[in-house]
Amino acid sequence: MRLFAAVVPPPRVAEHLAAALDRYRSGDTSLRWTRVESWHLTLAFYGSCTEAQAEERGAWLRERLRGHGPVRLRLAGAGRFRGVLWAGVDGDADALHAIARAAGAEDERVVKEARRWHPHLTLARWRASRPPRVVSRVVDGLADYRGPEWVAEEVVLLNSELHPAGARYTAQARCPLTSSRPPID
């Protein structure tokens, strides 16, 4: 199992962004577009583990998130990292960062990624050293994009399984965001 913690946007939010991307995705083969039903905001990546370790990670994550309340979010704008085209996130950024920190996003003992955490939703990937031209068109075209707001009420512990058609994600644990006690630092 390869585990990570994520916030999953509701279908209406994903469908709104997918409609905005339709003109860029049709016929373009220079990018590997991610599947809309797989879209998520990764908070922390934990790496490979056993099934027993996944259960422990779920309990750990629920405890770490206790006291963190729901957060209002919106997909907005676009950008790129090396090899990744992404949609941005706005809304209650401070609360989202606090949730990511609680999930381990900035803890070197937990995180298996080299770069600093930046909230985003991966739209597509490429392998070439330079991004395909469509990447600039998408980033420019979505510069003023503001999707519908939603309230994230849970963090999902997901298992990533790699398949030829792309990664498939299955929920291993659901961790509600409630304000029942102060956050753990």
Given 16, 40, 97, 163, which residue is catalytic? 40
Structure token digits, residue 36: 């809309």
Exposed, middle or buried by CB within 10 Å (0-12, 13-18, 19+), for 51? Answer: exposed
Active site residue 163: no
Question: Which amino acid type is present at position 136?
Answer: S
Strands 154-161 and 168-176, how do they pair?
Answer: antiparallel
Q: Which residues pair with 156 in a beta bridge?
A: 6, 174
- Angle, helices 11-25 vs 133-141, to 10°: value is 130
| Structural contact between residues 120 and 61, judged by C-beta atoms closer than 8 angstroms | no
Active site residue 40: yes
Given 16, 97, 120, 163, which residue is catalytic? 120
| Structural contact between residues 150 and 74, judged by C-beta atoms closer than 8 angstroms | yes
Question: Which amino acid type is present at position 156?
Answer: V
Within 10 Å of residue 174's Cβ, how many Cβ atoms?
Answer: 14
Catalytic positions: 40, 120
